[in-house]
């Protein structure tokens, strides 16, 4: 029996050291073969896999993505699951299952920063301090950002953003120009790159207004409603509008190394660990009804201990 800690989009698990990863060409994925009596090692599992990393083993010719769990018939809470071999990433000995479950949201942020063109010494604006926004802040600081301004409404998430390295956190509801005013005060003539991690018209407009001429507006969020975009403004300002989706194996590997170095700093992302039988009320309902209070809630799939560690 494998042990696991899961969040909605990613999970970590403990497998025996003699478990093997066996390619199955018929399904273009891999099987985990587990022997329960052997010593164990922790792993984390990518939910999205860039097809360009496994094209040599499949018939795929385009850079598409696979998903496990959310948006897929094989849910992340299933008793058995098949994943692509590239998706199974061993965790270092000092990285717990708790931290391993955070590799997925951190990898999202790492991917967005990498493909945005951000470079050391630049100034960044992050709109929204949810799990991805805080991960962006942490990783931008790690990458050498000269200044990071975060826009966030709630006090708890503002505090988390500050802990992740934000130079300043501004509440956008103070005034209609609060974010722009703070941007010009800290990083005139504007941010080199603005990351929209909220996904509403207001934050997109702020990202555009707060980015310097020739800067980058990077959309991270999934939008519930279509946005309005004035492309003439984009043309005249020569700003770049970019977006990203999930991550690659490279991003996941980089994040696992970060967890090994800074795990104690990152563990504060975890708001609670709850048993599987309380997943609906204490997990999903809690995030729906009290979203602003939490960053990440982890679910114990079985509640047993593996080598003294809750799994």
Dist CA 207 CA 188 (whole Å): 14
What angle in degrees, to the nearest 10, is found between the helix axes of 249-266 and 103-116? Answer: 120
For the whole model, what pTM was predicted? 0.76
Mean pLDDT (the chain) is: 78
Q: Which residue has the higher pLDDT, 117 or 14?
A: 117
Confidence of residue 44 (pLDDT cuts 50, 70, 90): low
Same-domain check for residues 222 and 129: yes
pLDDT value for 247: 87
Residue 62's CB is within 10 A of a number of other CB atoms, namely: 7
Same-domain check for residues 276 and 223: no
Same-domain check for residues 47 and 129: no
The residue count for the chain:
311
> What pairs with residue 66 in β-bridges?
49
Dist CA 85 CA 225 (whole Å): 36
> What pairs with residue 216 in β-bridges?
193, 240
Residue 39's CB is within 10 A of a number of other CB atoms, namely: 8
Across the range 220-248, mean pLDDT stands at 91
Domain count across the chain: 2
Residue 114 lies in a domain: no
What CATH number is associated with residue 12?
A: 3.90.180.10
Q: Is the dihedral of CA 265, 7, 244, 95 positive or negative?
A: positive
Q: Which of 212, 243, 274 is the last residue before a domain boundary?
A: 243
Residue 92 pLDDT > 60, yes or no?
A: yes
Cβ atoms of 173 and 193 within 8 Å: the answer is: no
pLDDT value for 3: 47
Task: State the residue for tokens 């039988």.
Answer: 277
Residue 199 lies in a domain: yes
Tell me the CB-side half-sphere exposure of residue 66, using CA atoms within 13 A. Answer: 24
Residue range(s) defining the domain that contains residue 74: 3-105+248-310
Residue 308's CB is within 10 A of a number of other CB atoms, namely: 5
């Amino acid at each position: 029996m494998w042990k696991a800690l899961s969040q909605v989009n990613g999970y970590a698990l403990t497998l025996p050291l003699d478990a093997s990863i066996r390619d199955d060409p018929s399904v273009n994925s891999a099987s985990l073969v587990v022997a329960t009596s052997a010593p164990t090692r922790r792993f984390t599992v990518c939910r999205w896999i860039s097809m360009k990393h496994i094209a040599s083993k499949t018939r795929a010719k385009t850079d598409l993505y696979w998903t496990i769990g959310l948006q897929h018939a094989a849910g992340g809470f299933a008793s058995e699951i098949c994943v692509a071999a590239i998706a199974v990433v061993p965790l270092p000995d000092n990285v717990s299952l708790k931290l391993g479950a955070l590799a997925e949201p951190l990898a999202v942020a790492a991917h967005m920063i990498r493909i945005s063109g951000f470079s050391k010494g630049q100034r960044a604006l992050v709109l929204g301090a949810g799990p991805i926004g805080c991960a962006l802040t942490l990783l931008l600081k790690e990458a050498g950002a000269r200044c990071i301004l975060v826009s966030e409404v709630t006090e708890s998430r503002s505090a988390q953003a500050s802990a992740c390295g934000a130079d300043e956190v501004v509440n956008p509801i103070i005034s209609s120009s609060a974010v722009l005013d703070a941007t010009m005060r800290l990083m005139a003539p504007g941010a080199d790159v603005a990351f929209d991690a909220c996904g509403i018209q207001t934050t997109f407009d702020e990202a555009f207004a707060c980015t310097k001429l020739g800067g980058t507006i990077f959309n991270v969020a999934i939008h519930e409603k279509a946005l309005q975009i004035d492309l003439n403004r984009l043309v005249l300002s020569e700003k770049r509008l970019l977006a990203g989706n999930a991550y690659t194996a490279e991003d996941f590997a980089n994040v696992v190394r970060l967890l090994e170095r800074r795990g104690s700093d990152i563990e504060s992302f975890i708001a609670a660990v709850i048993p599987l039988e309380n997943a609906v009320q204490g997990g999903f309902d809690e995030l729906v009804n009290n979203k602003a209070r939490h960053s990440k809630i982890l679910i114990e799939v079985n509640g047993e201990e593996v080598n003294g560690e809750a799994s």
